[in-house]
């Protein structure tokens, strides 16, 4: 198979040039035919079609080779009329070979024409095929054009199509044109993967008919879509019905293709509605809208048959809305039900940022937008065996005479994980939703995962307008407790030097286009963010008068980072620019960058101003300090030890812990005075969140501690002996206890698990400890006996109970003996805990003798003990080490 059109043209040109000079000396058409057959290959229309379109898959894609294979085989079976022309030189058909000139022209053109023929039952080429290959002396200019005229489809008849299509052999007919050159293959109306045929013949009274041609392995599929009336009572839409034509065992076969989608719209008196159903493999998806006077019912859903999974969203709207009082109305109610489905958190965030949440909460026309709605459903909820999602939806309105404020609220509970998702949409449209001057919209998604201590919120303002100015932007919030605790709030994004945590949905910049016309554009953007170590804010104003090539453009903005060391201060980056351009050339420009720090220990301003005028460039650097006190005024050192002692003596810092692998052991309840009791073989836990233990700290919130940095520890022991102690950890915000630069606040971990106390096991030999005993009491109940007879309680001694347990129903059960019912599931995949190491800054080689640490803070403590003259070290994640 030829790789390109240029190679195809070169090969045919060389073959014809080599044989053409001998044709005139041959005495008969049969001899000339034999000579051409030797040079060009078999002289039949099917063979010539395949020869003239023998392109590689990388050049022709999938559609052209599959289509040529089917056409060549069908031509061979039907033997239509044909002729091959080399204009001005040669004409060949089924009966003769005609020479028109003694020599070939400089630029050869091969033109193959094939008459009408039938491909398969119901599929025909009614106007024939014309194929033109241009083969100039310079092969880079070679080109191929294939036109299939009147490719027609009579869809297979069934009961559904019989209702929609007129009788008498309904026919859909269109043309296919393909072009190939050095740039590849293209089809009129499509690409390599499929083409929509320009129609020239369709049955009457159909709406929006279309005929689509696409490859399927070694076959081609012709499918049509159209709308039609059903007995004058309803309108139906059929999508993707047709036939698949393939070559198998040297014969052309046709297989009917059932409809991929079906839509129906009806109006019967007060009942008006529409429905849509789509089938794709083992997946069925559909939508329904039905109006019943004062109630509008809408539904859409997805069904998977293998494995079984069902997701449905239903809603009912009220017209007029139901009055709730205080100008509030209930406009609609609904619900989401999914069996075998779970919430896709990334998909929810993407749906908000992409403005697609409207497709889930009370869509205006679910049938018309069914494909988009079903695609959004697949991204927001994902199939997961054993999971269930369920929840209600409400649409509330406020305002008179119409609801200019509407709020759509959906609460979705995922079981058995108990994750709760909030889906919300808020709109304020003044003076009326039908013609708003001010139109503010917010799509909101929230996640509450109590099992993992996670709360997330994502919002987007897509589609909002203030007067005529569009408003864009978003907000995101994450609150996480546990081993990877964090708090992040962002409206419009982050500081340019801040790296967002993995998986955090960074919201779009808050922006408003104050002016947006062909010659004047003024846009304001901004952001605000809070993390455990930073407060970030920024804004910019961009203006363009004229065009980017000719006109005036300017920009002003700032990025601010608030700090608390040693007292309140900020780092402010200011920037501005002005440019005057004409025909793409810069006539004048001014650029300014300024860094402002302060107010303690002093104000500091540094930066550079640059002016460019025609061929001259001038820069003015500056660096000034003022108001310096020499030292920063810090608040008095906080009494950390006193607060730690207060926390240690607080009963809430102490808790009895059940023994490991307690299983079904009895739990210990508080005594009559409410005091917690320690399990006989349990542990005692002390944990406080005032200050991390065992590491030197330099500050406590905004207050700085005196040097050298103190280290706080707590020693706990039982009165009867020390017992055994194991450290426990809590999540601490590092910026509250350690000196961090602005860059370190942006790049280093915000929270880390640091020592907060200890877990103690009582020492051995504590027999003197008080013990409590309870009696074992059981009752005898006769099933079916007199309910008025109250059974007596029986007290059983410990030796008798121990002897009886071995003969009870549980002990004799095979499930209990084999433990099959209580077998724990396999361990789920888990990531290794992060580790930190000391590495050489230049080579990232691990420092000799430095142990790896579980936290960044512990690694920093270890860094102080590593010394090597002339070499600088740093803390890196262990996976960054160079071997």
Beta strands per DSSP E along 351-481 = 381-398, 405-415, 419-430, 438-449, 454-460, 464-466, 469-472, 474-480
Residues of the chain with pLDDT > 70, as a percent, come to 83
Task: Tell me the sheet residues that pair with 172.
Answer: 153
Mean pLDDT taken over the chain = 78
Strand partners, 392: 335
User: Mean of the pLDDT values across residues 69-77?
Assistant: 83
Instruction: Encode pLDDT of 123-180 as tens digits.
Output: 888 888 898 888 888 888 888 888 888 888 877 665 556 656 665 555 778 888 888 8
Angle at 684 between CA 678 and CA 688, to 5 degrees: 130
DSSP sequence for 165-196 = S-SS---EEEEEEEEEETTEEEETTB-SS-EE
**Residue 305's beta-bridge partner residues?**
308
Residue-wise pLDDT tens digits, 212-222: 888 877 788 88
Residue 540 banded pLDDT, cuts 50, 70, 90? very high
Q: Is the peptide bond before 317 cis (omega within 30 degrees of 0)?
A: no
pLDDT at 428 (0 to 100): 82
- Asked if 47 contacts 41 with a C-beta cutoff of 8 angstroms, the reply is yes
The residues facing 723 across adjacent strands are none
Look at residue 557 in the predicted model and tell me its pLDDT.
92
Q: Helix, strand or coil for residue 349? A: helix
Q: How far apart are CA 795 and CA 792, in angstroms?
A: 10
Identify the pLDDT of residue 568: 66
Alpha-carbon distances of 406 from 394, 398, 425, 557, rounded to whole Å: 10, 6, 8, 35
Q: In this predicted structure, what is the pLDDT of residue 765? A: 57
Q: Which range among 415-419, 435-439, 659-663 has the greatest average pLDDT?
A: 415-419
Rounded CA gap, 100 and 737, in Å? 97
Per the CB < 8 A criterion, the answer to whether 511 and 471 are in contact is: yes
Residue 721 has a pLDDT of: 63
Phi, psi of 848 (to 5 degrees): -65, 135
User: How many CB atoms are located within 10 Å of the residue 719 CB?
Assistant: 7
Q: Among 412-421, 478-487, 760-769, 780-789, name the most confident range.
A: 412-421
Residue 468 pLDDT exceeds 60: yes
What three-state secondary structure class fits 60?
helix
Q: Which of 530-534, 563-567, 586-590 has the least mean pLDDT?
A: 563-567
Q: Which two tokens stand for residue 454?
A: 């996670």
Q: Are 552 and 522 in contact (CB under 8 A)?
A: no
- What pLDDT is stored for residue 742 in this prediction? 67
The mean pLDDT of 395-416, rounded to a whole number, is 82
pLDDT of 307 > 80? The answer is no
Q: How far apart are the C-alpha atoms of 476 and 445, rounded to whole Å? A: 9
Is the pLDDT at 204 greater than 80? The verdict is no
Determine the average pLDDT of the residues in 468-483: 80
Q: What is the pLDDT of residue 190?
A: 65
How do residues 803-839 score in pLDDT, each as one tens digit? 777 777 777 776 666 665 555 556 666 667 778 888 8
CA–CA dist 521, 580 (Å, integer): 15
Which residues share a beta bridge with 486? 480
pLDDT(789) > 70: no
Is the pLDDT score of 412 beyond 70?
yes
Q: pLDDT band at residue 1, thresholds of 50, 70 and 90?
A: very low
pLDDT tens for 599-608 read: 766 788 888 8
380 versus 679: the higher-pLDDT residue is 380
Q: Say what the alpha-carbon torsion angle 591, 597, 603, 605 is, to the nearest 10 degrees.
A: -20
Residue 343 confidence (pLDDT) above 50: yes
Rounded to two decimals, the pTM is 0.52
pLDDT of residue 527: 92
DSSP letter for 632, please: -
Between 851 and 665, the more confident residue is 851
- With pLDDT > 90 as the criterion, what percentage of the chain qualifies? 2
Of the pLDDT bands very low, low, confident and very high (cuts 50, 70, 90), residue 768 is low
Residue 866 pLDDT > 70, yes or no? no
């Amino acid at each position: 198979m030829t790789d390109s059109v240029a190679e195809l043209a070169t090969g045919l040109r060389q073959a014809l040039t080599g044989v053409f000079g001998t044709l005139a000396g041959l005495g008969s058409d049969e001899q000339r035919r034999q000579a051409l057959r030797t040079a060009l290959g078999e002289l039949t229309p099917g063979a010539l079609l395949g020869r003239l379109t023998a392109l590689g898959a990388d050049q022709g894609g999938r559609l052209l080779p599959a289509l040529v294979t089917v056409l060549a085989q069908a031509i061979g079976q039907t033997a239509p009329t044909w002729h091959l022309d080399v204009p001005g030189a040669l004409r060949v058909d089924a009966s003769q070979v005609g020479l028109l000139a003694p020599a070939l022209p400089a630029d050869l053109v091969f033109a193959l024409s094939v008459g009408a023929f039938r491909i398969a039952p119901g599929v025909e080429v009614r106007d024939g095929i014309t194929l033109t290959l241009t083969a100039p002396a310079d092969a880079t200019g070679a080109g191929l054009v294939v036109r299939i005229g009147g490719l027609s489809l009579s869809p297979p008849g069934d009961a559904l199509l019989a209702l929609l299509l007129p009788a008498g052999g309904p026919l859909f007919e269109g043309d296919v044109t393909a072009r190939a050159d050095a740039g590849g293959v293209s089809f009129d109306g499509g690409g390599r993967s499929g083409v929509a045929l320009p129609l020239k013949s369709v049955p009457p009274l159909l709406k929006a008919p279309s005929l689509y041609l696409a490859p399927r392995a070694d076959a081609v599929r012709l499918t049509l879509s159209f709308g039609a009336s059903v007995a004058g009572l309803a309108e139906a839409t059929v999508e993707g019905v047709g036939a698949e034509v393939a070559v198998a065992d040297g014969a052309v076969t046709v297989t009917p293709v059932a409809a991929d989608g079906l839509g129906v719209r009806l109006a019967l008196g007060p009942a008006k509605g529409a429905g849509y159903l789509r089938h794709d493999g083992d997946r069925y998806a559909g939508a329904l809208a039905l109006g019943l006077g004062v109630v509008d019912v809408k539904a859409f859903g997805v069904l998977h048959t293998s494995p079984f999974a069902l997701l449905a969203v239903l809603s009912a709207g009220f017209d007029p809305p139901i009055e709730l009082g205080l100008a509030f109305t209930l406009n609609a109610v609904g619900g989401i039900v999914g069996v075998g489905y779970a919430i896709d958190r990334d998909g929810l965030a993407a749906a908000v940022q992409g403005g697609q949440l409207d497709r889930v909460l009370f869509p205006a026309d679910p049938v018309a937008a069914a494909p988009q709605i079903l695609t959004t459903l697949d991204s927001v909820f994902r199939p997961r065996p054993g999971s269930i999602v369920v929840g209600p939806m409400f649409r509330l309105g406020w305002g008179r005479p119409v609801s200019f404020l509407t709020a759509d609220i959906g609460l979705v509970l995922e079981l058995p994980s108990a994750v709760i998702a909030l889906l919300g949409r808020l709109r304020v449209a003044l003076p009326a939703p039908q013609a708003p001057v001010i139109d503010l919209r917010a799509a909101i998604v929230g996640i509450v995962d109590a099992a993992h201590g996670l709360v997330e919120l994502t919002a987007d303002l897509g589609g909002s307008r203030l007067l005529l100015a569009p408003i864009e932007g978003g907000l995101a919030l994450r609150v996480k407790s546990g081993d990877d605790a964090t708090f992040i709030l962002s409206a419009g994004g982050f500081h340019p030097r801040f790296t967002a945590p993995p998986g955090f949905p960074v919201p779009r910049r808050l922006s408003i286009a104050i002016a947006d016309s062909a010659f004047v554009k003024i846009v304001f953007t901004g952001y605000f963010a809070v993390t455990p170590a930073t407060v970030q804010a920024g804004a910019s104003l961009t203006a363009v008068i004229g065009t980017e090539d000719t006109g005036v453009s300017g920009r002003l903005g700032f990025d601010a980072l608030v700090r608390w060391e040693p007292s309140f201060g900020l780092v402010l980056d200011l920037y501005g620019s002005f440019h005057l351009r004409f025909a793409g050339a810069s006539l004048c420009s001014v650029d300014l960058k300024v860094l402002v720090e302060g107010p303690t220990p002093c104000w500091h301003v540094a930066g550079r101003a640059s002016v460019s005028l025609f061929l001259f460039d001038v820069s003015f650097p500056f660096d000034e300090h003022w108001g310096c006190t020499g030292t920063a005024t810090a608040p008095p050192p906080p009494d950390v030890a006193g607060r730690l002692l207060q926390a240690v003596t607080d009963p809430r810092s102490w808790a009895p812990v059940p023994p490991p692998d307690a299983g079904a052991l009895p739990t210990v309840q508080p005594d009559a005075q409410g005091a917690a009791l320690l399990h006989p073989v349990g542990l005692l836990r002390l944990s406080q969140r005032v200050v991390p233990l065992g590491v030197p700290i330099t500050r406590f919130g905004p207050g700085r501690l005196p040097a050298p940095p103190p280290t706080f520890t707590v020693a706990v022991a039982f009165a009867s002996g020390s017992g055994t102690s194991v450290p426990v950890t809590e999540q601490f915000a590092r910026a509250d206890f350690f000196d961090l630069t602005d860059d370190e606040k942006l790049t280093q971990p915000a929270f880390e698990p640091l020592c907060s106390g200890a877990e103690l096991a009582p020492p051995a030999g504590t027999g003197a400890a008080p013990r409590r005993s309870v009696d074992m009491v059981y009752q005898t109940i006769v099933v079916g006996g007199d309910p008025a007879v109250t059974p007596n309680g029986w007290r059983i001694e410990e030796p008798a109970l121990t002897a009886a347990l071995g003969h009870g129903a549980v002990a004799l059960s095979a499930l209990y003996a084999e433990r099959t019912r209580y077998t724990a599931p396999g361990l789920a995949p888990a990531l290794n805990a992060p580790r930190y190491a000391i590495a050489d800054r230049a080579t990232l080689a691990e420092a000799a003798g430095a142990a790896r640490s579980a936290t960044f803070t512990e690694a920093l403590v270890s860094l102080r003990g590593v010394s090597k003259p002339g070499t600088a070290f740093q803390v890196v994640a262990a996976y960054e080490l160079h071997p």
